Amino acid sequence: MEIITSVEEMSEWSRECALNLKSLGLVPTMGYLHEGHLSLVRKAISENDRVVASIFVNPTQFGRNEDFGVYPRDPGGDCAKLEASGVDALFTPDAETMYGAGYETFVEVQHLSLPLCGQTRPDHFRGVATVVLKLFNIIEPTRAYFGCKDYQQLQVIKKMVRDLNVRTEVIGCPTVREPDGLAMSSRNSYLSPSQRKRAVCLYEGLRKAQALFMTHETDVEKYIRVIAETISIESGTNPEYIRLVDPDTLRDLSAVHGPALAILAVRIGQTRLIDNALMS
């Protein structure tokens, strides 16, 4: 696996692929890789001639009081995992390379960035859209792979690609879960053993919403109540939002008469976890 840190070298490597008519898959990450990331890598390898993974803890998607400084990092372990998975190149630029002195250009997907996580993380999706577009421009991948756990992020990126005529195909991949159902996330490492046990309540709440959907329940409040009750059984859990939305527009549903997305963000102690369940 080649390890590339400069934009010029990365672009050159990708150009070589294109000249040889090789399709190129990209798995963008912020590192501290887990089985969720590796499932994206495996899908990318199965669908492309060459695969690049990127590791960049993107400062522009963190708010002032968020966890940028303490975001978990394991460059050695990540390299070993990517190499063992069969990735061809790792792009791992530093912040100066991505946002040099005088940097001032940002991409904003206006409406999709506003609700849900956008309410408490106002600049988050602008940072995500900007760094992902930069990666797409540097690497020019045929396809790029993102997890559905970050559902709003996936919708924002898909919209940006459509609106700005980017030629990369964006592929959403299923959430990978721990045996008890907790969605895999690098931030799970912040949880103490007792918080980790309690964190399964997010998944349990979503499962109860799914069970309600199977009964053809149309009342949105019933879904939200069953999720909220399941989460509040555990002590020290603090829901930031629990919503039932249209899976495409992310607008609140007034009643359930078709596909619905149950989506939530919950704080357990200081740790903010997100999850969702698509019901159709």
Comparing CA positions, the residue from 174, 223, 233, 222 lying closest to residue 200 is 233
Stretch of 126-134, 195-203, 214-222, 228-236 lying at the interface with ligand PAF (CB under 6 A): 126-134
208 versus 272: smaller Cβ distance to ligand PAF:
272
> What would the x/- binding string for ligand PAF be over residues 151 to 170, using CB under 6 A?
--x-----------------
- Residue closer to ligand PAF, measured from CB, 131 or 160: 131
Rg (CA), the chain: 19
Q: In the structure encoding, which two tokens stand for residue 29, read together?
A: 């990450």
Alpha carbon of residue 172 to chain centroid: 9
145: left (phi over 0), alpha (psi -120 to 50) or beta: beta
- Asked if residue 46 lies in contact with residue 143, where contact means CB atoms within 8 angstroms, the answer is no
Contact 183, 149 (CB under 8 A): yes
Residue with tokens 């045996």: 179
Shortest CB 202 distance to ligand PAF, Å: 18
**Cβ 81 to ligand PAF shortest distance, Å:** 15
Binding of ligand PAF at residue 175 (CB under 6 A)? no
* Catalytic site residue from 37, 111, 124, 257: 37
Binding mask 206-245 for ligand PAF (x = CB under 6 A): ----------------------------------------
Of 112, 124, 110, 105, the closest CA to residue 62 belongs to 124
Output 153 or 195, the one with its CB closest to ligand PAF: 153
Out of 88, 140, 150, 275, which residue is the one contacting ligand PAF (CB under 6 A)?
Answer: 150
Closer residue to ligand PAF in complex, CB, 131/199? 131
Q: Please list every residue from 13 through 72 that binds ligand PAF, using CB under 6 A.
A: 28-30, 58, 61
Classify the phi-psi angles of 132: left when phi > 0, otherwise alpha if psi is within -120 to 50, otherwise beta: alpha
Query: Contacting ligand PAF (CB under 6 A), which of 24, 82, 116, 131?
Result: 131
- Minimum CB distance to ligand PAF smaller for 136 or for 203: 136
Q: Are strands 260-268 and 271-279 parallel, antiparallel or unpaired?
A: antiparallel
Instruction: Based on the residue annotation, tell me whether 37 is a catalytic residue of this protein.
Output: yes
Under the binding rule (CB under 6 A), the answer on residue 132 touching ligand PAF is yes
The continuous run of DSSP H or E covering 15 comes out as helix 7-19
Return the amino acid letter for 123: D
Q: Is 256 exposed, middle or buried (0-12, 13-18, 19+ CB in 10 A)?
A: buried
**Which residues here bind ligand PAF, judged by CB under 6 A?**
28-30, 58, 61, 128, 131-132, 150, 153
Q: What amino acid positions are annotated as catalytic residues?
A: 37
